[in-house]
Amino acid sequence: MRIFIYLGMALGLAAAPPSITELQPRGAQKGRPFTLTIAGQNLGEGARIVSAMPATFTPMAPPAGMAEGRYATFLVEPKGELEVGVYPIRVQSGDGLSNILLFSVGAFPEINEEESQPGGMAHSNDSIEKAQSLPTTGITLNGTLRGAERDVYRLQVKAGERRVFEVDARRAGSAIDPVIRVMDGNGKQIARSEDAPLLNLDPRLDMTFPAAGYYYVEIHDARFSGQAQNFYRLKTGAYSYPTEVYPLGGQRGKQVEVSLGATKVKADLAKANGPQTFVNLPDSPALPLPLAIGEFPEVSEPVTGALTLPLTVNGRLAKAAEIDKYTLAVTPGDEYIFELQARELGTSKISGVITVYDETGKKLASAGDLPFAVDVFAVQASSRTAGDPFLNFKAPDGVRQITIAVEDLARRGGQHYAYRLHASKAAHDMQATIQTAAVNIPAGGTALVNLSVDRRGYAGPLSIKALNLPDGIRMSGGVIPPDPPESLTPRLGSRRAMVTLTADANVKLNVSELAFAAVATGADGNPIERRARGIGYTIGVNGATSQGVVDRQRPLSGAWMGAELPVAISTALAAQLDLKLEKAEKKEAGYEFRFRWTWKPKNAMQAVPQTVSVDVPNFADLRIIGMAVDEKDKKTGTFLVTSTRNTLAAKYDIGINGRLMIDGQQQEIYSEIQQFTLPVLDPEEKNANASPSAAR
């Protein structure tokens, strides 16, 4: 539950971490130095670029007339031959780290849409009558789409000429969902592409023109939406590109031969970090494709005989209605996990289904063919495009051999219906993700980090552990309570965790990234620990909603980057916010907890908000009531947290935050997370007048 706050005015100067909103240009031809201008805020003196791009970044004076602190310009000189691909760009200053935007490196000479250049006339290329001419050679054109507009380009071709038209948008960090249309000289559509295989939501057309003449290429957003990141990169030329990826991945540390269509390449997974790497055709201007990295030994279908666990099977549903089957010897009472990896990689179309049969063909369990259970605590509700399935399976009495079947929910098949089936002997598992892309910890202050843990058959309590916390920084929070017994479904939802990091006033960092792990205790009493993966970056897509969004509207995230949590120390904030539990009291319907907040501003004249925002993750039937500032001391106040009979008795995290306006800039100030315990109600109390529908 969130309580909106009053924004108090304060005195003093504010120094906020940098933020970036635009890169100019969004891409460059490989092998050539270029000038990169970054637009944003707090990009003043001392700002430097942090990037995985192998290049030097030399600060330059920004063009005349640009507002101070709003732009930073760099001369970028590649170190050797840059590979075609997408690279993260982040700015760091003495005040902290910025967000990430993506920069593309291509193979063709670069040109720009005239309309989107400074001084360009709006809607000057929105029809075939006003189309911008393209050169006949291979090029990459940088353009933008402002809401409900269409960009049209004219191209002259020869009879029998082959041309590829491809748009890099979602794959390059743009929020638009692009469509390509090709029209003849009369404006009649002769080809269209929206979501091409292997390209996520980006389009590609590969066509041969029957007759010489002028043709028109139109680019527009599928939803004609207005986006902050609204750029696109149109590539056109006669070039080769990957037409498939098979297998979809390989084992970490190995050399893997990957088919990209007519060509096979070697992928070296010995030095790769994170869950993925990338592969591409040699010298192709197409963006590289993701290749998964697994931890188990791997085999490819066809597989003869029984599986030996743990194992990853690489397979493909080569034709419609195909069902791939694998046998496994099991021991009654033993527990197993079967997981499909396909659609979520972006290189497979499978809506996967896993089914387990006994030796007589009797169906024992399945995943992927049923909707998820309603889950009020889920970090993200399921949408029409749910992710890849996994199955927790316990071998019944009398069953010593099973068949594991893999199929597509819509009974489809073909070249782009590959999968990876992970099989291991385990009762349950979990996956942890750091949802915060980077953290700036104020000197002497507190920052918040959000994480999520995807429960996979484990319903017990969880906690978050810091793995490399430097001296002078302390962590609070990270508690996830157990799930009620009735929540044991084939796939449990994600649970949110929050931790706060508090830095000493004079702390010096000796790490550039922080690492965390989710920790649980298995049924055998042994610890289960899974290292959390970072998301790398998050780019918003307008039109998204917090629940039930679909692929086209989900925020863009870069888990493939393999980063954990980049960290920096930022400038001290204008105030400190403290939280403590004053009283816990049993009530008729549950418990009531009274908390006190206290502002400690550095400037005694500074006004502070009279309310705060309160966050208690995973707390069913949460109510925040009675928020009131003290009459005698406006810098402190109290609020109540109440539970019901449906709230699970457990330990919970609670945190608060408030906002100040300092010198025209907003400061978000967090308290350190505190914990409180909700006691167990007597069975008679819990059942009396309880709602028929439990906390779920």
Rg (CA), the chain: 28
pLDDT band at 692 (very low <50, low <70, confident <90, very high): very low
pLDDT band at 484 (very low <50, low <70, confident <90, very high): confident
Angle at 13 between CA 8 and CA 15, to 5 degrees: 100
> How far is 259 from 247, CA to CA, in rounded Å?
7
Q: Which domains does the chain have, with CATH numbers?
A: 19-106 (2.60.40.10), 110-237 (2.60.120.380), 249-294 (no CATH), 298-426 (2.60.120.380), 431-570 (2.60.40), 575-685 (2.60.40.10)
Q: What is the pLDDT of residue 9?
A: 32
pLDDT band at 561 (very low <50, low <70, confident <90, very high): low
**296 contacts 339 by C-beta, under 8 angstroms:** no
**219 contacts 179 by C-beta, under 8 angstroms:** yes
Q: Is the pLDDT of residue 490 over 80?
A: no
Q: What is the pLDDT of residue 521?
A: 86
What average pLDDT does this structure show over 161-182? 96
Is the pLDDT higher at 66 or at 527?
A: 527
Q: Which amino acid is at 52?
A: A
User: 231-287, pLDDT tens digit by residue?
Assistant: 999 999 999 999 999 999 999 999 999 999 999 999 999 888 788 899 999 999 999
- DSSP 8-state class, residue 18: P
> How far is 256 from 251, CA to CA, in rounded Å?
8
> How far is 649 from 642, CA to CA, in rounded Å?
13
Residue 596, φ and ψ in degrees, nearest 5: -120, 135
- DSSP 8-state class, residue 683: H
Please state whether 305 falls in left (phi above 0), alpha (psi between -120 and 50) or beta.
left
Between the alpha carbon of residue 597 and those of residues 403, 525, 651, 655, the distances in Å are 58, 39, 20, 10
Q: What is the pLDDT of residue 281?
A: 96
User: 207-246, pLDDT tens digit by residue?
Assistant: 999 999 999 999 999 999 999 999 999 999 999 999 999 9
Q: What is the pLDDT of residue 545?
A: 56
pTM across the whole model: 0.88
SS3 call for 508? coil
For the beta carbon of residue 653, count every other beta carbon within 10 angstroms. Answer: 25
Which residues are within 8 A (CB) of 301 and not within 5 positions of it... i.e. 6 or more apart? 313, 314, 315, 316, 324
> How far is 220 from 37, CA to CA, in rounded Å?
26
**Of 464, 460, 522, 459, which is closest to residue 492 (Cα–Cα)?**
459
Residue 343, φ and ψ in degrees, nearest 5: -55, -40
**Of 557, 548, 694, which is closest to residue 620 (Cα–Cα)?**
694
Q: In sequence order, what are the beta bridge partners of 24?
A: 37
> How far is 138 from 264, CA to CA, in rounded Å?
25
User: 502-540, pLDDT tens digit by residue?
Assistant: 999 999 998 899 999 999 987 778 888 999 999 888 888
**74 contacts 49 by C-beta, under 8 angstroms:** yes
pLDDT band at 557 (very low <50, low <70, confident <90, very high): confident
- Please give the structure tokens belonging to residue 669: 């100030």
pLDDT band at 428 (very low <50, low <70, confident <90, very high): confident
Which residues are within 8 A (CB) of 309 and not within 5 positions of it... i.e. 6 or more apart? 328, 336, 423, 424, 425
Q: What is the pLDDT of residue 672?
A: 98
User: 585-597, pLDDT tens digit by residue?
Assistant: 998 889 999 999 9
- Sheet of 575-586: strands edge to edge? 575-586, 591-601, 636-642, 623-629
When mean pLDDT is compared across 26-30, 40-44, 425-429, 492-496, the lowest value belongs to 492-496
- Please give the structure tokens belonging to residue 242: 């990957």
Helix locations, 506-552, DSSP H: none
> How far is 181 from 123, CA to CA, in rounded Å?
18
Is the pLDDT higher at 522 or at 95?
A: 95
What average pLDDT does this structure show over 10-36? 83
In the chain, what percentage of residues exceed pLDDT 90? 73
Q: What is the pLDDT of residue 467?
A: 96
Which residues are within 8 A (CB) of 525 and not within 5 positions of it... i.e. 6 or more apart? none
What average pLDDT does this structure show over 414-442? 93
> How far is 150 from 67, CA to CA, in rounded Å?
31
Q: What is the pLDDT of residue 380?
A: 45
Q: What is the pLDDT of residue 494?
A: 81
> How far is 694 from 696, CA to CA, in rounded Å?
5
Q: Is the pLDDT of residue 176 over 50?
A: yes
**81 contacts 282 by C-beta, under 8 angstroms:** no
Pairing status of strand 418-425 against strand 363-367 = unpaired
Q: Is the pLDDT of residue 550 over 70?
A: no
